[in-house]
Structure 1
């Protein structure tokens, strides 16, 4: 009788240990812990995209007026519109604006104005530069600049890894994770790797998004062509060497064995 009771106690303790071992602590899973640290921090955190080498720039110059003469005056400052090829390389009826490729020295060749150094400028600074130069030929021109190839890549333990085109040229690390469907439960939230290339030099940093102070990190706002990598946690790396369903099988088998022991000892 004593032996039977000891067996039941052992089984009960084993079940409790199994349940506790399967739980993941809040410290490893929850985002934005210790948010109270940010209270009273009213420092604005602005970010403006900077043009880099190999960026594709869509630049259009429009007149302030709408007369035929106004349109003719700005025409030399715009690249011609070309027919867009489809995926097979055949020319379609659709049209697209050509883009300026920023070369490895940070320059573009602009109609009439010639070579311009644009790397390191924000979009607004480039607009101001072009408006000043083109105003020598056209009264009050309207300039629009857009980065055509602003994209980021999210890899590793997320639901939908891949490269994402960003329309508004401004994205945070959290927004990038949201685009990729957020991390899986197997992703390390305390060791997010961000790889960045600036002026041909590759840099990287690790960000802990379980702590609220990462909001002040220079990697909170992503730049064009940044790569975000979510490292698998220890459990995921260990599971890669065997069937991931084995812990489930063990848990089910343990429950069945426990029930059998309890029934037979009644």
Structure 2
């Protein structure tokens, strides 16, 4: 169960109505781009495609990365996290040895350098660190006015990673392309919580520079959407603790079983000794 409220109607009591029952203020602060973020940059304009030097530059980077990845894959056997390789040949024949590499979306994006700049052809370096995605779009658009006719710029963050650990069905590190990813999205990607998960105190650890900020969120409460840890930031860590009943089952019951086993063995030994002495 998620997002419950004491005033929620019972089964069969829900009436069809368009009225707003409750309203919450959310803490969805726009993400500010950081050094080493990976972004995609798309430009639409009335300028013919053959003059789109940004797209051409990105395609060239993709080819270079593809070749580098191929060379690395042939040397160390490949990295399954970043590429998939398979032999191909005609039907009925053995593989020809051709190994097409399927690059993930991060391999075709632009990387903001350690100083927070993005280098583009013709334009040069553009300072993006500290800007929201919308602000970065407007800044790059202003730089392109002299090169494109009525340009429209769209930026997407490709390096939005977060980790989910604990009482979920599939722990792991996940990537989202939605800047408004939230805790419920993370739970869904992790294939939901287990039956023993404590839904009332999920921990969200957020790393900011040299600090680690810790939030607790209660997914049982409807006002979860207004809690500061509801919307995620890149590199967040979500830890789902177990219910105390699960902890007791995991640690207390085995200890109790061991004690009972030792006691039973001791009693059996005493009975054997007594029988032999009679």
CA distance in 2, matches of 1:95, 1:180: 24
User: Any residues of structure 2 matched to 1:58-207 within 5 Å, and which?
Assistant: 58-66=40-48, 71-72=50-51, 74-75=53-54, 78-79=57-58, 80=60, 81-82=62-63, 84=66, 85=69, 89-90=73-74, 93=100, 98-207=108-217
CA–CA separation in structure 2 for the residues paired with 1:137 and 1:95: 32
Listed one character per residue, the Cα deviations across residues 162-205 of structure 1 (whole Å, up to 9, x for unaligned) are: 12221333322112112212211211112110011234532121
Change in 2 beyond 3 A, CA 1:157/1:51: same
Moved more, 31-40 or 100-109: 31-40
Aligned length: 216
The answer to whether the 8 A contact 1:53-1:199 is kept is no
2:3 is matched with 32
More strand by share: 1
Q: Give the deviation of 1:125 after TM superposition.
A: 1.6
Per-residue deviation, 1:56? 0.7
TM-score by length of 1: 0.67
Gaps of 5+ in 1: 1-29, 248-266
Residues 138 and 42 of structure 1: CA distance in aligned 2, closer, same or farther (over 3 Å): same
Per-residue deviation, 1:76: 8.2
Q: Is the 8 A contact 2:24 2:225 kept in 1?
A: no
Question: CA offsets per residue over residues 111-140 of structure 1, 9 Å max, x none?
Answer: 332222212322222111111111123222
Aligned to 2:32: 50
Aligned residue number for residue 224 of structure 1? 234
The TM-score normalised by the length of structure 2 is 0.64
Give 5+ residue unaligned stretches, structure 2. 9-19, 75-84, 86-98, 258-278
SS at match of 1:78: helix
Give 1:251's aligned residue: none
Q: Does the alignment pair 1:212 with 2:222? A: yes
Is the 8 Å Cα contact of residues 50 and 121 (structure 1) preserved in structure 2? yes
- Tell me whether 144-153 or 31-40 shows the greater mean CA deviation: 31-40
Relative distance call for 1:75 and 1:56 in structure 2 (3 A) is closer
CA RMSD of aligned residues (A): 3.4
What CA distance in whole angstroms lies between the structure 2 residues aligned with 1:167 and 1:106? 20
Match of 1:235 in 2: 245
